[in-house]
Chains A and B, each alone.
Chain A
Amino acid sequence: MKLLRNILDNLKPDFEKGGKFPWLHSTFDAFETFAFVPKTTTKNGAHFRDALDMKRTMTMVIVALIPALLFGTYNIGYQHFLSLDPKIGFFDEIWNNLWYGILKVLPIIIVSYVVGLSIEFGFAQWRGHEVNEGFLVTGMLIPLVMPPDVPLWQVAMATAFSVVIGKEVFGGTGMNFLNPALLARAFLFFAFPSSMSGDNVWIAEKADAFSGATPLAEMMAGASIPTHSFMEMLLGVMPGSIGETSAIAILLGAILLLFTGIGSWRIMLSVFVGGAVMGLTFNLFGSNPYTQIPFYYHYVMGGFMFGAVFMATDPVTASQTNRGKWIYGFLIGVMAVLIRVVNPAYPEGMMLSILLLNVFAPLIDYYVVDSNIKKRIKRWKMKGGENV
């Protein structure tokens, strides 16, 4: 630690004004504050201080993503070998599974980080800002919502699109109104449907004879119940995007997020409540098999769990007020199940429902604040206060 500090201190003058590389100041600053909590404090105005700054918060989210990432990596290998030999057991080929998964996932992660960070650094340098830390998490979320076989140039394109159009044009981290990772996925979903949907993309290099349909796709095709059991889907032993399959691994991350207070429990809970309400409504009134599955199946199929824990709770794009968070989360759950069951074109509704509610979040906040103001005016008048 001391050594690193000394190296940074020695290098620092070169990057200040008048040094050798003043134009690289933002880049240097980014690495220095990544390694050490900056000592400077805000001088004026009232601020709530917290021991966690932005970079430390983001690191915590990355830690929360690790279980899903590890399980996803292993599962890719397992699904691949399972498609070649349907009799293989989950623990039969541990190292082969892991190694194969790493070979698939690592390039996607590297491409996502390299492309995204170089754009972030470029923009920060160009504007003379500090480098924003938001991409640390986005760069990890993007690979986790991709299918294992996605071409790398498409990952690069989607990352560039989401960082530039989704974030930088609005002013960088904290200014975006759409979740950048989901925007990257939505971009690929509409731009290159053949590598983002269908039955052939969810298992890496699968054998042709093996059905690679996800539980969502099976339900869509009219099955009365997915071929994977509830337990398998809960554990995540099924084809799907890299990080989304295992509800258990995601819940481990959720516990960390809730324990550290980084993720909002109101949003997570209300997403699940919303999904349950819509699922039960379909059970009552639905006519086809898809509407009749128990509501908790929706939690473990596809990206519902991943979206509820890691996407919907994104503090920038979610509602800010507490009552707004309840409404926001509830509607995400409702819309996700609604799109899944009713819309014939998209098997997965979580991505679209979160993006939709991202757009509505400021409106929800506006009315929550507005109704609070009205209520307080009314109370003021009841106490005999003057007209405002």
Chain B
Amino acid sequence: MAGINFKLIKNPLSKENPITVQVLGICSALAVTAKLQPAFVMALSVIVVVVFSNLIISLIRNTIPPRIRIIVQLVIVSLLVILVDQILKAFVYDVSKQLSVFVGLIITNCIVMGRLEAFAMNNKPFDSLLDGIGNGIGYAVILVTLGIIRELFGSGTLWGYNVIPQSFYDMGYQDNSLMIMPPMALILVGIIIWIQRARNKDLCEK
């Protein structure tokens, strides 16, 4: 064992980012980021699921028959998702209601399945754990960024607290209700991709 392989954590944050480069998990990124709090909780849930499913699958990777591996992966992911869902319902019921079906849909989140197939099936448990952390955080960074921008400009609040002072509204400022709609989230993701590719030319297709 050659110590911690930092590349596994660092790469998914920028040049292999699951949302902006691999374009996975877009659905939930558009659906739950209208407010910061649900976006943060969703990001946390995905981190937990992807880290532990990576670890578990990697531990039992040599005993899974290749023909039924997808079913086995799904069972383990579902188990983790149900656990997360129950915990959310128990401790942050309001947020859980806002996230509604999207917590359950983590099961079909391409990032989770993609990492299991592409990484955990062929790599050692510790590396898989790091890969899970990296990809989870890569997803979380984008979700939280979207959540901050959309809630700040769409509702004038952050985490439910008023941020934009009343004097702004008195001067004629209005909240941008397009920010709360999913199309604007897609445009924002596009702008993030644009900025990222302008800074890192390696990512541009020929």
Contact = CB atoms under 8 A, between A and B. Distances in A.
B177 A190 contact: yes
Given A165-B187, A169-B194, A192 B172 contact: no
B174 interface: yes
Contacts, number: 21
B176 A192 contact: yes
Interface in B176-194: 176-179, 181, 187, 190, 194
B172 to A, nearest CB: 6
Q: Is the interface on chain A under 10, 10 to 19, 20 to 34, or 35 or more residues?
A: 10 to 19
A151 B194 contact: no
Binding site secondary structure of chain B: helix
Contacts of B176: 191-192
A193 B172 contact: no
A161 to B, nearest CB: 9
A229 interface: no
Binding site secondary structure of chain A: helix
Contacts of B177: 190-193
Contacts of A151: 172, 174
Given A165-B187, A169-B194, A192 B181 contact: no
A153 B177 CA distance: 15
B172 A191 contact: no
Nearest to B187: A165
A194 B174 contact: yes
Interface string B34-59: 00000000000000000000000000
B198 to A, nearest CB: 11
B174 A192 contact: yes
A194 B175 CA distance: 10
A138 interface: no
A154 B175 CA distance: 11
Nearest to A192: B174
A222 to B, nearest CB: 26
Interface string A162-202: 00010001000000000000000001001111110000000
A191 B174 CA distance: 9
Contacts of A192: 174, 176-177
- Please name the 3 residue pairs, one residue from A and one from B, whose CB atoms are nearest each other, closest first: A191-B178, A190-B178, A191-B176
Interface of A: 151, 153-154, 165, 169, 187, 190-195
14 contacts: A151-B172, A151-B174, A153-B172, A165-B187, A169-B190, A169-B194, A187-B178, A190-B178, A191-B178, A191-B179, A192-B174, A192-B176, A192-B177, A195-B174
